Chains A and B, each alone.
Chain A
Amino acid sequence: MSILDSKIPKGPLADKWTKHKNTIDLVNPANKRNIDVIVVGTGLAGGSAAATLAELGYNVKTFCYQDSPRRAHSIAAQGGINASKNYQGDGDSDYRLFYDTVKGGDYRSREANVYRLAEVSGNIIDQCVAQGVPFAREYGGLLDNRSFGGVLVSRTFYAKGQTGQQLLLGAYSAMNRQINRGKIQAFNRHEMLDLVKIDGKARGIIARDLVTGEIERHSAHAVVLATGGYGNVFFLSTNAMGSNVMAAWRAHRRGAFFANPCFTQIHPTCIPVSGENQSKLTLMSESLRNDGRIWVPKKKEDAEAIRTGKLKPTQLAEEDRDYYLERRYPAFGNLVPRDVASRAAKERCDAGFGVNKTGEAVYLDFAAAIQRYGKEKALTSGVHNPTKEQITKLGEEVIEAKYGNLFQMYEKIVDQDPYKTPMMIYPAVHYTMGGLWVDYNLQTTVPGCYAAGEANFSDHGANRLGASALMQGLADGYFVLPYTIGDYLSNDIRTGEIPTDTPEFDQAEKEVKDRIEKLMSASGTNSVDFYHKKLGKIMWNKCGMSRNEKELKEAIDEIAALREDFWKNVKVLGIADGMNPELEKAGRVADFLELGELFAKDALTRNESCGGHFREEYQTEDGEALRDDENFKFVSAWEYKGEPKDAVLHKEDLVYENIELKTRSYK
């Protein structure tokens, strides 16, 4: 057995969490006042954790690089949040949500964690409603649900196409309440540059005030990292421009193991890349797949005619269209999980059926849904014998009510009217299932350093289902971490305030300053973005939707060489002791250049295809992923040893006692 102890409680699956909560140590309210906790990142996981910890009585300091906690990238999540409330009476349960999530993750997640997630999911909805989150409702005044990919029930709660925004504003309001009470000190426009360890325990961070450039020391009894994912290692992704891996990577360098870095989610419904100057990709909510049908032309010559603008998609007859998801996966159709839908789109485009100028796009068509809803609406609103125009108009109104903001966004970006012509979509990097390795208590391998939300690896295995990220972020922050951290902090009630004038802080601060100095003085010729774009190209081409041994090996070498070049030839203008976004970017890209290599190494080690990780060598005859449970039913946790190539692999074997491992099928 390896040195990884997942600390999963004994006993039956459904009782583990309750039993665990009953037996772990607590900190009494009077003592909580003497304990400080640092929370880095203020998205759903960090914001909710900070608010809850402060409410429990701890002194909380929050850090975010944005100018306000409300702007963390959780805000961009569109579709919804899952919960096993079974309000629709369609047979949902904690077990079913648990089962769907483990299966959706292609059996690479931890049973106990996922079951706990399902167990607390209902609480999240109660909590959010109490906070004033305006979820969508039915006419009877009760909450509405919709369906998402990879499941057979309707369990997704939503607030138009802005669910992430509303949930984040809920967590932010809970934070505000604590800021108002003086229990949270919010350090906005601050970036964590290093983790400080004292006697092996996480005891603080070094942060940079992004406005003044000042390097600050902050101490605490525990540090929570809720800093999101590392999708921006691909340069182009649906992440925010500032999303980065620095906090997690700095913790990794200080001893926190990094788990499954190669598990990345490529989201199938994004707006295709339009040109070389593009800075980011925009997601169109997966909820669109409830009503949109995905297709490409059946014949290559039609696809070519469309690409050159000679043919319009609306002119193509029904029998000349290939609804390839419905063809390949009749049971789930357009609602197959994300990894499956993305790969299928890539397969069609690679085969020459792509429909935009670059040949890297497929259609998402609402014409059928508009007609269907139009007829329904005509019937319910008493219009007899409606004309085709009437039906279309009514149908468009229904679609607008459901997805209006998404359609508007598409039109603004692409300059085409998606009510009249099908949308064009293509997969894009969206979410990273990998992250810091944590045990059942969400503690990393550094005592006192916790990771929550997308920043940890725990719940989604090799592929995340839609509407599960919001659920996990809030579950970790509101309902898991505040309890489990108490178990650790109960040993700290006599510690007293942690001083910052210690050699450990001196050393960490010096290292941070040296690194900044090195970046500023590399009198090179290339901008930071130059390197970031190059790295992104390598990642997308060789570690993207499908991977193979040869290209992964190339990627490892190329990234290492690029990293070396970066430190010699990067050009960072401006000053270190003031606002300098170029310097911020440089620090982040430097860490991406290390992570990228570990990413490729992890992908190379995993000789199987599972979830978002597709190795070309391991597929069935009809192109489906071929998992290898015998040899790879484990979590890869990497230990830092200097260069990424020297990282040491530790395996946490995944034990399935409640679910039978099966080949994932959505046919």
Chain B
Amino acid sequence: MNLTLKIWRQKDARSKGKIVDYPISGVEGDMSFLEMLDMLNEGLIEKGEEPVVFDHDCREGICGSCSLQIDGEPHGPDRFVTTCQLHMRKFNDGDTIYIEPFRAKAFPVIKDLMIDRSSFDRIQQAGGFISVNTSGNTIDANAIPIRKEDADQAMDAATCIGCGACVAACKNASAMLFTSAKVSQFSLLPQGQVEATERVMAMVNQMDEEGFGNCTNTGACEIECPKGISLENIARMNREYLKASLKG
């Protein structure tokens, strides 16, 4: 199929960027979106133009490196996939496709479509852990039984890949879904409850400091999340936060 790509090009963090049009032909349905971009880049290199820079790594939907706002939606129009697993069969011959970086003040552009998501790391560093030593002198793994339902819910929250689609989709660029997924994972497990108060306060404070927007419950994050992280996690974090605030 033949497509017209409208791609955001930006030289570096300080430069201004703009949308540039690229026609591309010979795209096949079995190609992933990133393989389509690979093909574009091979063509650009041949012509002596600098290839388009974008983040990607595992290309199997789990590392969370790839991003891209495709036609106004993070990871494109398909559901429960990252861009690397979005296939071109979802598009039609003759389509025009907008390709932009995830936009948020807390995700500054590094180059072209590549963004800096270290704000997510800092939120995790603020409290996204359980303070146990890694020495191995812990109690036996089966010493504390955990309800299967709780373990499963913790797992569902923990599947977050930290890609930032929630922020990109949100009209407010809020990071609540990301932050709440981690808070939830730990608050659902007995091991994590010990530090629950400090954790939620520290992580929410860091999230606010990074300049993400406020949550207004539009639910866009949940719809666009490639891993289907539920809004229930945000409610749980709100609850945890209120509890923590009242405790002081």
Contacts and interface: CB of A to CB of B under 8 A. Distances in A.
| Contact between chain A and chain B defined by CB under 8 Å | yes
Interface string A244-288: 000000000000000000000000000000110111101100000
Nearest to B189: A132
A174 B39 CA distance: 39
Interface string B163-200: 00000000000000000000001100101100000000
A73 B57 contact: yes
Q: Which of B31, B35, B60, B85 has the most CB of A within 10 A?
A: B60
A240 B89 CA distance: 23
Contacts of A571: 45
Contacts of B111: 578-579
B246 interface: no
Interface in A274-310: 274-275, 277-280, 282-283
Given A275-B31, A277-B38, A412-B85, A66 B53 contact: no
Interface string B128-165: 11111111101111101111100110110011011000
Interface residues on A, range: 35 or more
Nearest to B82: A412
Chain B interface, >50% SS class: loop
B132 A131 contact: yes
Contacts of A240: 57-59, 63
Given A73-B57, A176-B125, A578-B12, A165 B65 contact: no
A179 B125 CA distance: 7
A390 B148 CA distance: 26
Contact of B63 (A66, A413, A574): A66
Q: Which of B49, B117, B155 has the most CB of A within 10 A?
A: B155
A354 to B, nearest CB: 18
Contacts of B63: 66, 71-73, 75-76, 240
Contacts of A277: 28, 31, 35, 38-39
Nearest to A180: B125
A316 to B, nearest CB: 25
A140 to B, nearest CB: 7
Interface in B1-39: 12, 28, 30-32, 34-35, 38-39
A194 B155 CA distance: 39
Contact of A177 (B60, B121, B131): B131
Interface in B29-72: 30-32, 34-35, 38-39, 42, 45-46, 48-51, 53, 55-65
B30 A127 contact: no
A277 B65 CA distance: 21
B51 to A, nearest CB: 6
A126 interface: yes
Contacts of A274: 30
A142 B143 CA distance: 9
A159 interface: yes
Contacts of B162: 68, 70-71
B51 A66 contact: no
Contacts of B205: none
Given A130-B138, A177-B131, A76 B145 contact: no
A66 B162 CA distance: 13
A280 B35 CA distance: 9
A527 B40 CA distance: 13
A242 interface: yes
Interface string A68-84: 11111101100000000
Contacts of A55: 133-135
Contact of B124 (A52, A176, A529): A176
B158 to A, nearest CB: 5
A66 B60 contact: no
B12 A579 contact: yes
Contacts of A415: 30, 87, 89
A125 B118 CA distance: 29
Contact of B155 (A75, A123, A134, A141): A134
Given A73-B63, A573-B45, A141 B147 contact: yes
B64 A71 contact: yes
A132 B130 contact: yes
B57 A242 contact: yes
Nearest to B63: A71
Contacts of B132: 127, 130-131
B62 A76 contact: yes
Q: Which of B49, B57, B142, B147 has the most CB of A within 10 A?
A: B57
Given A67-B117, A176-B129, 17 more contacts: A70-B124, A71-B162, A87-B142, A124-B136, A126-B139, A130-B191, A135-B151, A137-B151, A165-B158, A173-B124, A173-B128, A180-B126, A241-B59, A277-B38, A277-B39, A280-B59, A581-B53
Interface of B: 12, 28, 30-32, 34-35, 38-39, 42, 45-46, 48-51, 53, 55-65, 78, 80-81, 85, 87, 89, 110-111, 114, 116-118, 120-121, 124-136, 138-142, 144-148, 151-152, 154-155, 158-159, 161-162, 185-186, 189, 191-192
5 contacts: A85-B141, A131-B134, A241-B59, A408-B80, A578-B111
Q: Which 4 A-B pairs have the closest CB atoms?
A: A141-B145, A173-B129, A123-B136, A134-B155
